[in-house]
Structure 1
Amino acid sequence: MKKRYIVGGAIAVLLAAGVTALNLSPIGRVYLPSGTGIVAKQMCSLTWVSGLDPDQAYDFYLEPLLGDAASLIKYDMDADNREVTSSVLGLFWPQRAVWRDGLGCTLVHGGYGFDAELTVPVEQEFAPFELDTAHRDEWFDTEALDAVIADAFDGVEADSRQTLGVAVLHQGRLVAEHYADGASRDTRFHGWSMTKSAMTTLAGTLVQEGRLDIDAEGAIPALAEVDDIRLAEITIADLLRMAGGLAIAEDNTGTDPNSEMLFTQSDMPRYAATRERLYAPGEHWQYMSGNTILATDTMQRLLGDTLPEQVAGLRAHIFEPLGIYSAIMEPGENGVFQGSSYMYATAHDWARLALLYMNDGMVDGRRLLPEDWYDIVAEPTPGSDGQYGMGFWLPAEGSLLPPETIMLSGFQGQWGYVLPEQELVIVRFGATTGVNSRSGGLARGVIAALQPPVTTPAPEAGTDVDIDIDDTPTDDQ
């Protein structure tokens, strides 16, 4: 009997040591909490913010991401309270996401006095564009336009791309839209890193008002709170250009600092601010969402003293002037907008944001962005191989897209194209994992279907709109 106790005790010690070692490793410290975090957060947001069927949301967006971990991670949805909990095998590394009206879903880790009862409802209904068939028929080869849109949704290859929504504006008029089963013009699509372009737009409105200098040093509160004089040199422009120089790498492995920040941290700006400095500001380009988190925190503090005031300020600056009423910007647990990744809006409203740039920062005769803002965001950032400006992607060499194009882009194939010469805005949303979304081909096909008046040169004949060019930049989870 004594021997049995000794053996049992030894096994218990070994198990405890194994669990401790696992918890201290990147797998237990970041990977598994990130897995349960993304499941809780996304199932909450995709169900109660986007309005998707939960099974479709999981099958399209999450299961392909989780891979082998899908069999380990379980989740439970509380529809009455609009909460989702997730854990490994129903026991380990639990995470909880809570929905609040007007604020979307937030991962709650138990800190910062999170107020589950706080709401900031959107006060006006989403106003969709009406399809302008007369304008479409005047300006487009309608059969060609229909064919290129259908190609994004139909066929075996398209099935693997999981395109969920496409909308096309020409001269500010809706000329085409299509949605997959389960989605519609009322669906709030998760833009992922398209959110970075929205935050760059917020910066532009604050610059236009004279309230923000994007080149000022020492103006990032989260960095100043770290009390490191080296960090004071970093500017908003450095952060929006992904040149802050801090060690906040993201590589979509689930063990990287970005995953740790998004899915395990209550105070994301502080996490980003306390990372090691690897390069001087502006010296090194590396796509990292923590940069935009720091910039967002700085700008949010200019919008008001409380979260409801700040939400109202965000809406007043970039949403309401554009007629955007579906947008939800989700905050982290400490109330700071997750400005790198967590904006949701309908395809029409994402298109309205892009349309502001096609209209050179003007809306209804009012200048919302500085006159040179398009040039600023379209100026390639040194070190980005000419593919990243300030909060927007730029067309790669050989993409066959017009050189003045700027692009909003997000994880899993979210894309927005601003084509000022063609007066086009194209948005594409999906749940694309592990394959090329072929969104560049979609954009080229829409351009090829455009038939401007005789006085305007037509697109060069013979352009192969189906060339498979890798159009997916490194992006956040």
Structure 2
Amino acid sequence: MTMQRWLVPLTLPLLLGTAAPVADVQPGEEAEAATAPAIVRADLDPLVTALFEDEGVGETRAVIVVQDGEIVAERYAPGYSADMRYISWSMAKTVTAILVGFLVEDGRLDLDAPAPVPEWQGENDARRHITLRHLLHMASGLDHTEVNDPIWDSDTNRMLFTSGAGDMAGYAVARPLEANPGDKYEYSSATTVILSRIIADTLTDSEDPGARAAAYRRFAYQRLLGPADIHSLYFEFDAQGTQIGGSLIHATARDWARLGEVLRTGSAADGTEIISPAWRAFMLTPSPRNPEYGGQTWLNRPGGPYDSPTLFPGHGPDTIFSLVGHLGQYVVVSPEQRLTVVRLGNTPDAQRRAVVDRLARFFDA
């Protein structure tokens, strides 16, 4: 029988205190977790086990369950531990939206003004009507194709890995319109990279990639990561110093849980406000063109444009929301139930429904 690591911090400070150091360990290598092993809470045992062992769920690497601010279950697959960073994929989009919110609250950006993208400001360029709100709602109207067949022939893969990789935001903003701004929902990692460049442009006049990246990191730490006691989070940037805000952030499972808790309450563990009620409400309000999508955040609502909902409407409260990433990354939060569930792993998109169905059980329990 394969042995699994089971870890349950028994006291609140293990979640809300200083994050454990991040070891230089690659997946598949053995690494000891920073905390003493304990047992999972008995009523959660079958729910956690299902995410690791049920047929069809793919590879689950880490699960953390937090209730009322305290970790009540934590488990890692062999070769993974509490000391390792886990990739966000599209969970990064929600982090980007939080940072945009700080600048809106500061009066440095305006949700309904034309988005500050110089390439769109020509007198006859219809893209100058795209607003920050449109971008946050994935309704810019830009011709961005997230997934295509063949797989390489999509804007996401061209931007991340081939012709657009040197200047990802440059690639994204250069795309033409395919619909009037605000008229059409279309999920797009390229859209969020545009938001990341807008953040950097607002923070610094420098064109030096290193200076731009440093300004972005400093702002994120001062306004979000430091107050939230999140110390493992690592941003990736392109060659222009633009954070790859739609796809590439890395953090420990516990720090993903901390982020979920900040989104649940709007505050740090000590009660200090981090995300304002107004901005949190914006992120969690259904957007006009997709009721299951808010401000770069997935909502547990029916009526989305896809054959299958992204979350699980009908299970748990409709106030549940989630960070969602490629290959089955989830930070699912239920404010009413004071519950956050983190699942990290590697599950092909065709199998993700099995993971979602098992996550729903935590919120029905």
TM-score (ref. length: structure 1): 0.62
**Residue type of the partner of 1:291?**
T
Q: Cα distance 1:378–1:300, how it changes in 2: closer, same or farther (>3 A)?
A: same
What secondary structure sits across from 1:283 in the alignment? coil
Q: 1:366 to 1:207 in 2, by over 3 A?
A: farther
Instruction: Give yes or no for the alignment of 1:263 onto 2:169.
Output: no
1:267-278 correspondence to structure 2 within 5 Å: 267-278=167-178
SS in structure 2 of the partner of residue 345 of structure 1: strand
Look up the match of 2:131. Answer: 235
Q: Deviations over 1:191-249 (max 9, x none)?
A: 1000000001111222233332222214234544x776322221122111100111111
Which blocks of at least 5 consecutive residues in structure 2 are unaligned?
Answer: 1-21, 303-312
- Secondary structure of the residue aligned to 1:380 is coil
Shift of 1:318: 1.7
Aligned to 1:473: none
Is the Cα–Cα contact under 8 Å of residues 141 and 180 in structure 2 kept in the other structure?
yes
Give the C-alpha shift of residue 362 in structure 1.
5.6
**Separation of aligned partners in 2, 1:186 and 1:218:** 39
Q: Percent identity at matched positions?
A: 30
Structure 2 contact 29–80 (Cα < 8 Å) conserved: no
Q: State the 4+ residue runs in structure 1 displaced beyond 6 angstroms.
A: 127-133
**Higher alpha-carbon deviation: 403-412 or 349-358:** 349-358
What secondary structure is seen at the aligned counterpart in 1 of 2:52? coil
| Residues 132 and 400 (structure 1), Cα distance of their counterparts in 2 relative to 1, 3 Å cut | same
The residue identity in structure 2 corresponding to 1:257 is D
What is residue 391 of structure 1 aligned with on the other side?
Answer: 296
Cross-structure match for 1:409: 324
Task: Establish whether residue 183 from structure 1 lines up as the match of residue 92 from structure 2.
Answer: no
User: What aligned pairs does 1:326-475 form with structure 2 within 5 A after superposition?
Assistant: 326-361=232-267, 364-384=270-290, 386-397=291-302, 398-433=313-348, 434-436=350-352, 438-449=354-365
8 Å CA contact retained: 2:61, 2:80: yes
2-side partners of 1:210 and 1:251: how far apart? 35
Contact 1:132 1:174 in 2 (8 A): no
Whether the 8 Å CA contact 2:227–2:268 is kept in 1: the answer is no
**Distance of 2:128 and 2:360 partners within structure 1:** 43
Asked if 1 retains the 8 angstrom alpha-carbon contact of 2:29 and 2:79, the reply is: no
CA 1:363/1:236 → structure 2, altered by over 3 Å: closer, same or farther?
Answer: farther
C-alpha distance in 1 between matches for 2:278 and 2:240: 34
Provide closer, same or farther for how the CA distance between residues 129 and 223 of structure 1 changes in structure 2, counting only shifts above 3 A.
farther
1:393–1:408: 8 Å Cα contact kept in structure 2?
yes
Deviation at 1:50, TM superposition (A): 8.0
Q: 1:208 touches 1:369 (CA, 8 Å); kept in 2?
A: no
Q: CA 1:427–1:131 in 2, change beyond 3 Å: closer, same or farther?
A: farther
C-alpha deviation, 1:428, in angstroms: 0.6
Any idea what the Cα deviations from partners look like across 1:282-328, whole Å, max 9, x if unmatched?
11101011111111100122334412233222222221111111111
Correspondence 1:143 to 2:38: no
Q: Say if 2:87 and 2:249, in contact at 8 Å, map to a contact too.
A: yes
* 8 Å CA contact 2:286, 2:293 repeated in 1: yes
- Root-mean-square deviation (Å): 2.7
One-letter identity of the residue aligned with 1:390: G
Matches within 5 A, 1:196-275: 196-221=93-118, 223-224=120-121, 229-251=125-147, 253-264=151-162, 265=164, 266-275=166-175
- Asked if the contact 2:299–2:322 (Cα under 8 Å) also holds between the matched residues in 1, the reply is yes
- The alpha-carbon deviation at position 257 of structure 1 amounts to 1.8
TM-score normalised per structure 2: 0.80
Which of residues 302, 307, 317 in structure 1 aligns to 2:202? Answer: 302
CA shift in 2, pair 1:50/1:212, >3 Å: farther
